[in-house]
Structure 1
Amino acid sequence: MGLNQQNQIHLLKDILSDHQADCTGTVAECEQMERIIKSLMANTNLDAGLKGVLEDIYLYSQRGKSSASINSHIQEHQDHLTQWVEDIGSFS
């Protein structure tokens, strides 16, 4: 059984919140965020505002995977993480 859209958004928010609070993360978390976002983007009824936020998070995840230091990458994006968590919260 797969996750519904609300579950996916909640999971994405949880991962971003952990990155924001802990300033640490893993490549596996970035890969998981990418999978969640791909699944959400396949939904044609997705809110346009949420779609823009998801595109930004997807880029963050891609760059995080290839970063020499995932933790430095996360620290550099603290302001974005805070905003994304707030933005996603308004859609969940």
Structure 2
Amino acid sequence: RRLLKGMAKVSRGCAEFLSPAERLQPKLIKSLKKAIEPAVSDITIDWYVPDSMEALLSPTELPALYPGDRLVSYCVLYSIARFRDR
């Protein structure tokens, strides 16, 4: 699984895994739809924060998005004013 997830990440694709109780057809249809639809890639999010603040982003690398996908990104803000004074 780790290898396939890594290959999907590097190739800007996605990996699907099947549990023993799942049917192949829904996952196969989902994968085929993604294969024929264009993906949105090279996504950037610009956070405009005051000069005294720094933003820690998660995830650090944004994946390619396909129709119907969602992207959830977080930003933790922290003050860097005390570091600049030194």
Q: What's the TM-score once normalised by structure 1's chain length?
A: 0.26
Q: TM-score scaled by structure 2?
A: 0.27
Larger radius of gyration: 2
Bigger helix share: 1
Specify which structure has the bigger relative contact order, considering alpha-carbon pairs within 8 angstroms and separated by 6 or more residues: 1
